[in-house]
Structure 1
């Protein structure tokens, strides 16, 4: 039976290649997971400054941590020196900074480059410019959301808008006491 003469109650499906083709999967990662707000964590999992978790979002490893000012920060989980994975563990806690296991470049909880071997002999290195690459992050209802897009879509329109569309208003979900 071909898709043209399927019974009306059956919805035709995509060809098998759409489920298995690596190129299609890569485009989905880029256009869906790397372009929209993505819920990655419960904020309570980052209970104190230095607590961190890593997540795979699309094709990127993302480092989410609690900063000294108690805000949640998110960065690409790569060292700016040679691109090594900064945090190799899924979760953990650092005292003051993240240190790359490859060449020991060290970043504060705010993502700023704070130390590196021979850094004093490299006066042209701007510690802010060579800090970790920020990822857009938002806390809402006890959850942490990230967006890899350079110019993320509006959280209010996309996420809160979806809540309003489904529940009628944002207050409805806030009354669920999700925490």
Structure 2
């Protein structure tokens, strides 16, 4: 197709290699998904203390749970000892703590290190310092939002601002009663394609 045949109504796609290049994909994970606020789970999914869910954000697994005080916390789903995933499933209910399946390092629901083999013989180990690494978290509209960035962007500008831009008024979304919406049906597709292809096809609809 020559340049004079391209319609002004069509927006050209990105060069083909941007959909397959591994280095570009890593950069997208780091600079896009791991820097933005991500709507992770419904707050109601964590009904009681010890309830937890894991979500994949960029290259990282994040563990979201409810504490005994009823608060919600988010951590990297990684043991501080050897970097093994703490929770291997998508969701569950912990009775008293999170325990690493590798060397049994154990953390309470606040992320504090509470037990490990020979821990009493290592008085120099600060149990808070070696606790689970926290992830930035906000609760809004009945959902838990998380951000992996060391310094997250403004939630008010990026999330609430986007709502205001689309609806014209931030209060307008309250009419949807988002927190109490129910899932009518869920269909999961496993698509072997770069994420940009999915977004582009969705936008055409």
Q: TM-score range by the shorter chain?
A: over 0.9
Query: Residue 117 of structure 1 corresponds to which residue in structure 2?
Result: 117
TM-score normalized with structure 1 length: 0.97
Report Cα offsets for 1:76-116 as digits up to 9, x if no partner: 00000110101111110001110000000000000000111
Superposition deviation, residue 4 in structure 1: 6.3
Pair 171,119 (structure 1): closer, same or farther in 2 beyond 3 Å: same
Instruction: Tell me the residue number matched to 2:93.
Output: 93
How many pairs were matched up?
179
- For the 8 Å contact 1:3–1:12, the answer to whether it is kept is no
Aligned counterpart, 2:141: 141
Residue segments in structure 2 that go unaligned for 5+ positions in a row: 181-205
Matching residue of 1:28 = 28
Q: Using the alignment, how far apart are the partners of 2:2 and 2:52 within structure 1?
A: 51
Which residue does the alignment assign to 1:66? 66
Q: CA deviation at 1:2?
A: 3.8
More helix per residue: 2
Computed over aligned residues only, the root mean square deviation of the Cα atoms, in angstroms, reads 1.0
Higher strand share: 1
**Structure 1: 4+ residue segments shifted above 4 A:** none
Q: 1:2 to 1:130 in 2, by over 3 A?
A: farther
- Displacement, 1:62? 0.3
What's the secondary structure of 2:85's corresponding residue?
coil
Gaps of 5+ in 1: none
